[in-house]
Amino acid sequence: MTEGEGLAARRRAQGEEVASAVDAARLLSLVDEVSSQGALPDKGVERLALTESDLAARRLLVDLARSLGATPFRDAAGNFFFRWRGQADLKPVVIGSHLDTQPQAGPLDGALGVCSGIETMRALTTTGIQTRRPIEVAIWTNEEGCRFAPGTMGSAAFADPGLLESFKASRDEHGVSFGEALGALDSSFQDVPLRELCRPLSAFLEVHVEGGSVLDVNAGQLGVVDRVQGARWFQARIIGQSAHPGTTQLSRKHDALMAAVEVASRLYELLREGDEHLRLTVGRMRVEPGSINVIPGKVELSIDLRHPDSAVLDSVEALISAMAGPVVGCDVTLERTMLAEPIEFDNRIVDLLERNSQRLGLPCRTLASGSFHDAVRLARLCPTGMIFVPSIGGLSHNPEEWTPPRDMAAATRLLALTAVELADQDGN
Amino acid sequence: MTEGEGLAARRRAQGEEVASAVDAARLLSLVDEVSSQGALPDKGVERLALTESDLAARRLLVDLARSLGATPFRDAAGNFFFRWRGQADLKPVVIGSHLDTQPQAGPLDGALGVCSGIETMRALTTTGIQTRRPIEVAIWTNEEGCRFAPGTMGSAAFADPGLLESFKASRDEHGVSFGEALGALDSSFQDVPLRELCRPLSAFLEVHVEGGSVLDVNAGQLGVVDRVQGARWFQARIIGQSAHPGTTQLSRKHDALMAAVEVASRLYELLREGDEHLRLTVGRMRVEPGSINVIPGKVELSIDLRHPDSAVLDSVEALISAMAGPVVGCDVTLERTMLAEPIEFDNRIVDLLERNSQRLGLPCRTLASGSFHDAVRLARLCPTGMIFVPSIGGLSHNPEEWTPPRDMAAATRLLALTAVELADQDGN
């Protein structure tokens, strides 16, 4: 065995040692603890970006990271990082996800990826292993985009700081801007030092629930994500004329909801045309004045469009845009509010994750992601990979969202092994 | 001339004297003053039932009525009455309408009828005329039914006090019950004594905006309402399953908004089938969780159905009820939340209003009402009539709702003449 071979073998053994130190019960208990921040009375979690429960969950993890000996810091986009020092001050390997959720959501979307990162750090603590590079656990701000649109604001601004100013102007439905909400976070976390956006990273890895039904949950199958489909959001604004429903004949009606139903029907027609990869959802419909006995004068609706192929996205966008104009006596305007192009993850990371799942004896399948993630933004910046855990019933963005704890631990072992190996790699 | 003929002539002259004393500028100024309670920043009025602005408008009118020498009182349903004493303590003639509005509404729907009543009382004050019977101006509670469903709660409970208990349980979208809101009114108006519901009335007259396009606004045409079409409200509840929009294939979607759009489309189909008297409106659609990137798991929508013919209402209701059950993978349930049968007003009142408009030289047309009104509830109890003023552009439940002040004054003269005549009639 040459000296180089010996080093490589030691590094491999080091990764396996950390992976073995991953503790399933400890991980599950952390997931539970994070879920208690924003827990809904009955079941599920609602922890919208930069609300009190989001800040409380961050505080919990800042304290925990410090107690483990990691150094917390943050950036101007509200992203948090817990740094586990390396042998040298090289570009770090970053692992993590987001803490914010949809309304009436489950406990895992986002939080599991952060908790897997923390558990990896705990396994490093247990083994006393120090990798060549630092390993950081990241919490990205506002991945969901439901309080402040668009989504993945934190990771997008990290990768492209020029975006931050426009993000800051985005307002929630109570009129609070993202910039103002960041100000509140800033006040609460004066003890956590700031670092710059867009620092060079060596690699980024994210564990996440699949939120779909491709992985075989009964077989405990993990997913290695090799690409992510593109997503585009649109906002349609429909102006009619509110009027009395008892006196206004059909021919004189300018019923904005009637027009909205027509627009939605045309969208659903596109969905039924048979492209099995096409996803089209109207998730939000706001009706004004929204009274039983008033013909609606105004409706706003959201459109979420997804497909793995940019060309298809372009052609469906053209069809959606063509819906603007007069519809049953009302005026429809459309605006695109988010664009996330389909991406492919770095082959080397995909290969490494596949090899490592075999080494750990974990059933695994390579798949495309239907949902977008912070990893999509980081992929611009450094070699990036994602590990999916299966979702029971394919559910996500739902209080019933869950994954067998065995699979959460398995994904964390794969994360730990791969992160340690990447952190031990040569180079600057 | 016999003694009886002399009395009849004096009474007619008395009515004309009061009608002549109606002051258009004073009426308009009162309409403006009432509009300032709940005025929207830009244009229009929002004075939902039993909100602060509703109570403030009532306080304004209680003070005004007292200053005119009238006696205010109220009942257990929150209805207010301002009593102008008659020569004898006989059953009163009641004139009035409601003060509550829809969200983002106009200044006249309801308020004009109350202001016409107050102006009639002012004209009585000016002339010093005292009629045989008392004349009372009424403010009926929660006619609109948008904060607490159903509508016409105050007048319905006045006519049928047994309804009040179930009305009290109705809750607004913040969870406040109608009973609790009545409690707040009770506390604010301890100075206004209570009287019983369902007191015997001699007659009821209501001035109201048409809110439709039958009357010729350019000709200053008033309307004498001889019948009111029936109205029925339904609430549809659609349960699907919230899920991730990027990962969930069409075949696995249980998209509650997709089902709601299907239900609404079928309703609109009924409307397009050609019965020009049929009115069908979906005024409210609440989508949960209502996020851009979550497939909706639950939708509630309201249906407002109207027609002059009960048999048609029955058959359309049967078609609506048949929409319950599975729809595109979701479960639809339907409940009827309001029933107002078509009614015909007392011939004697209709005839008297027609004759009196001729006497005053006012262009007038007899018509059916497309909207329901407090008068529909009072018609169970006593001879009842309605006077419509034309609506510019047919608009109502809209900030742009307006009527030329000349027509408001003309309707008030017709009201005053007719009320005084009815109050001078013989009998008990």
428 residues of chain B, pLDDT tens digit each: 677 778 778 878 899 999 999 999 999 999 999 999 999 999 999 999 999 999 999 999 999 999 999 999 999 999 999 999 999 999 999 999 999 999 999 999 999 999 999 999 999 999 999 999 999 999 999 999 999 999 999 999 999 999 999 999 999 989 999 999 999 999 999 999 999 999 999 999 999 999 888 899 999 999 999 999 999 999 999 999 998 888 888 888 999 999 999 999 999 999 988 798 999 999 999 999 999 989 999 999 999 999 999 999 999 999 999 999 999 999 999 999 989 899 999 999 999 999 999 999 999 999 999 888 999 999 999 999 999 999 998 888 899 999 999 999 999 999 999 999 999 998 87
Tell which of A316, A338, A360 closes a domain. A338
Residues B332 and B296 in one domain: yes
- Which of chain A's residues have a Cβ under 8 Å away from the Cβ of B335? none
Cβ <8 Å between B284 and A287: yes
Report yes or no on B80 lying in a domain. yes
Same domain, A121 and A268: no
Least CB–CB distance from A289: residue in B104, B271, B371: B104
B97 φψ region: left (φ > 0), alpha (ψ -120 to 50), beta (else): beta
Token pair, residue A354, equals: 């596949």
Per-residue pLDDT reduced to its tens digit, A258-294: 999 999 999 999 998 879 899 999 999 999 999 998 9
Which structural domain range is residue A240 located in? 230-338
Instruction: Tell me whether residue A428 is in a domain.
Output: no
CB A397 within 8 A of CB A211: yes
- Decide: A65 and A72 in contact? Cβ < 8 Å: yes
Same domain, A85 and A224: yes
Residues B140 and B106 grouped into a single domain: yes
Cβ separation B258–A268 shorter than 8 A: yes
B215 chain-A contacts, CB cut-off 8 A: none
Of A337, A62, A92, nearest to A200 by C-alpha is A92
Please tell me the distance from the alpha carbon of residue A387 to that of residue A393, in angstroms, as a whole number: 18
Distance CA(A217)–CA(A395), nearest Å, equals: 12
Q: Rounded to an integer, what distance in angstroms lies between the CA atom of residue A426 and that of residue B137?
A: 90
Chosen for mutation from A217, A271, A293, A400 (greatest number of chain B CBs closer than 10 Å) is: A293
Residues A352, A414 within the same domain = yes
Chain A environment of B271 (Cβ under 8 Å): 250
Q: Give the nearest partner residue to A244 out of B212, B290, B292, using CB atoms.
A: B212
Q: Which residues contact B34 (CB under 8 A, 6 or more apart)?
A: B57, B60, B61, B99, B107, B111, B114, B115
Summarize the confidence of residues A159-167 as an average pLDDT.
Answer: 96
Whether A244 sits inside 8 A of B211 (CB atoms) is yes
Give the chain A residue nearest B262 (alpha carbons): A265
Does residue A98 sit in the same domain as residue A236? no
Query: Is the domain of B123 the same as that of B197?
Result: yes
B279/A245 touch (CB, cutoff 8 Å), yes or no: yes
Number of domains in chain B: 2
Q: How far is A203 from chain B (nearest CA, A)?
A: 25
Would you put residue B329 in left (φ > 0), alpha (ψ -120 to 50) or beta?
A: left
Nearest CB neighbour to B103, from listed A243, A249, A291: A291
Residue A322 lies in a domain: yes
Residues of chain B positioned with their CB less than 8 A from the CB of A398: 241-243, 297
Q: Do B246 and A289 touch (CB under 8 A)?
A: no
Domain containing residue A196: CATH number: 3.40.630.10
Domain termination residue (choose one: B320, B340, B360): B340
In chain A, residues with a C-beta closer than 8 Å to the C-beta of B246 are 211-212, 229, 231, 279, 304, 306, 369-372
Q: Which helix (H) or strand (E) holds A357?
A: helix A347-359
CA distance B49 to B178: 9
Chain B residues in contact with A265 (beta carbon < 8 A): 261, 265
Residue in A281, A285, A313, A391 to test binding to B, most B beta-carbons within 10 Å: A281
- Full DSSP string of B17-81: HHHHT--HHHHHHHHHHHHTTTB-SSSSB---TTSHHHHHHHHHHHHHHHHHT-EEEE-TTS-EE
Whether A291 and B283 lie within 8 Å, measured CB to CB: yes
In a domain, B224, yes or no: yes
Q: Between A103, A210, A371, which is nearest B291 by CB?
A: A103
Cα(A415)–Cα(A403) distance, rounded to whole angstroms? 17
CB within 8 Å: B292 and A146: yes
- From the list B263, B314, B308, the residue with the least C-alpha distance to B285 is B263
CA distance A304 to chain B (A): 6
Burial class of B169 by CB neighbour count within 10 A (0 to 12, 13 to 18, 19+) = exposed
pLDDT in tens, A390-415: 999 888 889 999 999 999 999 999 99
Domain final residue, candidates B293, B311, B340: B340
Tell if the CB–CB gap between A103 and B290 is shorter than 8 Å.
Answer: yes
The answer to whether the CB atoms of B244 and A396 lie below 8 A apart is: yes
Distance CA A150, CA B18 (A): 65
Quote the minimal CA–CA distance from B17 to chain A in Å: 35
- Non-local (6+) Cβ contacts of B49 within 8 A are B100, B141, B142, B143, B144, B146, B147, B148, B153, B181
Q: What is the pLDDT of residue B1?
A: 61
A327: domain CATH number?
3.30.70.360
The residues, ordered by sequence, that sit 6+ positions from A316 with a Cβ below 8 Å of its Cβ are A270, A278, A280, A305, A307
Check CB contact under 8 Å for B249 and A276. yes
Residue B332 lies in a domain: yes
Q: Note whether B252 contacts A103, CB cutoff 8 Å.
A: no
For A71-90, the pLDDT digits (tens) are: 999 999 999 999 999 999 99
The pLDDT of A12-40, averaged and rounded, is 96
Tokens of A84: 């586990």
A188 shares a domain with A74? yes
What is the nearest CA distance from B93 to chain A, expressed in angstroms? 28
In A92-204, where does DSSP find H-type helix? Answer: 111-127, 153-159, 164-168, 178-188
Q: B272 - beta bridge partners?
A: none
Q: Evaluate whether residue B5 is within a structural domain.
A: no
Is B243 close to A398, i.e. CB distance below 8 A?
Answer: yes
The pLDDT of residue A5 is 80
Cβ contacts (< 8 Å) between B258 and chain A: which residues? 264, 268, 282
As a 3-state breakdown, chain B gives helix, strand, coil percent values, each rounded to 5, of 40, 25, 40
pLDDT tier, A1 (very low <50, low <70, confident <90, very high otherwise): low
Are B150 and B256 in a shared domain? Answer: no
- B229, B284, B398: residue with CB nearest A246: B229
Domain shared by A20 and A151, yes or no: yes
B261 to A264: CB separation less than 8 angstroms, yes or no? yes
Q: Model pTM greater than 0.90?
A: no
Distance CA A348, CA A384 (A): 9
Interface test with A, best of B233, B242, B285, B388 (most A CBs within 10 A): B242
Is residue A194 helix, strand or coil? strand
> Which residue from B221, B213, B188 is spatially nearest to B50, judged by alpha carbons?
B188
In three state form, how does the secondary structure of A245-285 look? CCCCCHHHCECHHHHHHHHHHHHHHHHHCCCCCCEEECCCE
- Same structural domain, A291 and A246: yes
* Torsion sign over Cα B46, B49, B53, B57: positive
Pair of tokens at residue A37: 């921040």
* Chain A nearest CA to B121, separation (Å): 30
User: Rounded distance, CA A15 to CA A422, Å?
Assistant: 9
Question: b or e along B232-268 (b: 16 or more beta carbons within 10 Å of the residue's beta carbon)?
Answer: bbbbbbbbbbbbbbbbbebeebbbbbbbbbbbbeebb
Q: Is B22 domain-assigned?
A: yes
B283/B400 same-domain check: no
| Residues B383, B350: Cα–Cα separation, whole Å | 10
Cβ–Cβ pairs < 8 A, chains A and B: 251
pLDDT at A248: 85
Residues of B in contact with A151 (CB under 8 A): 293
Q: Please report residues of A whose CB lies closer than 8 A to that of B149.
A: 292
Let me know if residue B119 belongs to a domain.
Answer: yes
* Cβ contact A294–B283 (<8 Å): yes
Contact B211 A247 (CB under 8 A): yes
Helix (H) or strand (E) holding B206: strand B203-209
Nearest to B284 among A104, A105, A291 (CB): A291
DSSP string, B311-324: HHHHHHHHHHHTT-
